[in-house]
Amino acid sequence: MADVLDHDTSEHATADALRRIKLFRAIGVSDSIVLLASMRRRNVGSGDKVFAQGENGDTMVVVLDGILRVEVTDMNGNTATVGKVEAGEVVGEMAVIDPAPRSASVVAATDCELLELSRADLMGLRRRAPSAAAAIVGGIIGDVTRRLRNVNKRIDAELDPNNAAGKAQMKITLTGAPTDENTGTFFGRIWDRIRR
């Protein structure tokens, strides 16, 4: 994927690139310049850790160029790649609203150019460009709402007694423990994490 800036690194080109990113689409031209001034450019090399699972976070990053890998480590120390974040995408956005331990690690899969926004930066943006700050918070809330709807759909599907996963979940509900046939289901995986 081509980088977000299309090799034009002027302030206006970068601000325009920000407004093409879903989270920032509702931000006006002048506010996007203020937003850009609130962010910090960060270059990371391939293999560098951007966020560490379990650390308290208060920043989000926008990928301008490169690819980030999202990794989760389980209680046994096994690490799995669960996603990637490419140019034009955002990761860690919940931390600017709710600074809590990171649920995953984010590692540079390639050399990357990032823009970082902290919780404190967002607070400052509320004073300098309140409509931009409101658009960002609204975008984050909208994204969280969409994710919750997707989780609800998965729960409904797995609780549906007319499908195999639903039947397996009913066994968990009735017996209190997962069986071999339902340990791979959404609820089976949650049960497995709870009982550790």
**pLDDT tens digits for range 117-146:** 999 999 999 999 999 999 999 989 988 888
Looking at the structure of the chain, the number of domains it has is: 2
- Residue 188 within any structural domain of the chain: yes
The whole-model pTM stands at 0.72
CB 107 within 8 A of CB 44: no
Same domain for 26 and 123?
A: yes
Residue ending a domain, among 88, 108, 128, is 128
Instruction: Identify the pLDDT of residue 82.
Output: 92
Beta strands in 87-194 (DSSP E): 90-91, 105-108, 112-118
Residue ending a domain, among 113, 128, 143, is 128
- Residue 140 within any structural domain of the chain: no
pLDDT means per 10 residues in the chain (196 residues)? 46 83 89 92 96 94 96 91 93 90 95 96 93 92 86 80 61 51 54 50
Query: To which residue do tokens 């490419």 refer?
Result: 86
Domain residue limits at 188: 160-194
Q: How far is CA 183 from the centre of its chain?
A: 26
CB 113 within 8 A of CB 46: no
